[in-house]
Copies of this chain bind each other. A is one copy, B any other.
Amino acid sequence: MYHGSTVHELRITYPSWIETVVDWRRRYRTDEEKLDLAIALSRDNVERERGGPFGAAVFEVASGALVAVGVNSVVRLRNSALHAEMLALMMAHHQRQSFTLAAPALPAHELVTSCEPCAMCLGATLWSGVMRLVFGARREDAEALGFDEGPVFPESYRYLRDRGIEIVGGVRRTEARAVMHQYLSRGGTIYNR
């Protein structure tokens, strides 16, 4: 099954509408403001893209500057790894041109996501170098829709906290969950189960 080397290039992009949702110049002061952006991304991903009901963003902790965003792109880009958090973290590395967001020359970063990360995204959070993780809806909210969150246990969170990562969950949970239910009522694909 030979396939030429040109096949071996992945191009990972945002949906074309992303610039109409995101204001790159704005400073986000509170966790609630940051979650509002992640949830707005999740909502537009459902309404415009028919994509998974998940959005995420990476910020500088101190300034509240926005570094990168992500929306679930599993169906759009036909790639099971492209959860919202993965896209946001990979775009943040690209924007900072660094394989760690904890590089000495960089300010501290945080990942904010509309729903509790799955096993893959929680691992990626650890490797990315973010100092904070903030999420909206909880694991059981995703599972209630039929999504699988994978092997995440209480000791998984302990593992990250032991390595200095602050974790805050349940911020704007009701609003985040509402988008997830909107997705279900539209007959959206439950791709990992």
A positions within 8 Å CB-CB of B = 1-3, 5, 7-14, 18-19, 24-25, 65-67, 74-75, 77-81, 86, 89-91, 93-95, 97-100, 118-124, 126-129, 148, 150-153, 155-156, 159-160, 163, 191-192
CB of A83, distance to nearest CB on chain B (Å): 8
Q: Among the listed B12, B124, B126, which residue makes an inter-chain contact with A10, where contact means beta carbons less than 8 Å apart?
A: B12
The oligomer's copy count stands at: 2
CB closest chain-B residue, reference A2: B24
Residues of B within 8 A of A86 (CB): 81
Q: List 20 A-B contacts (CB under 8 A).
A: A8-B18, A9-B11, A9-B12, A10-B13, A77-B99, A78-B99, A79-B90, A79-B93, A80-B99, A80-B124, A80-B127, A81-B93, A118-B127, A119-B122, A120-B120, A120-B126, A126-B192, A127-B191, A151-B152, A153-B155
CB of A171, distance to nearest CB on chain B (Å): 22
- In the assembled complex, the Cα of A130 lies from the Cα of B9 at a distance in Å of 21
- A93, B120: Cβ atoms under 8 Å? no
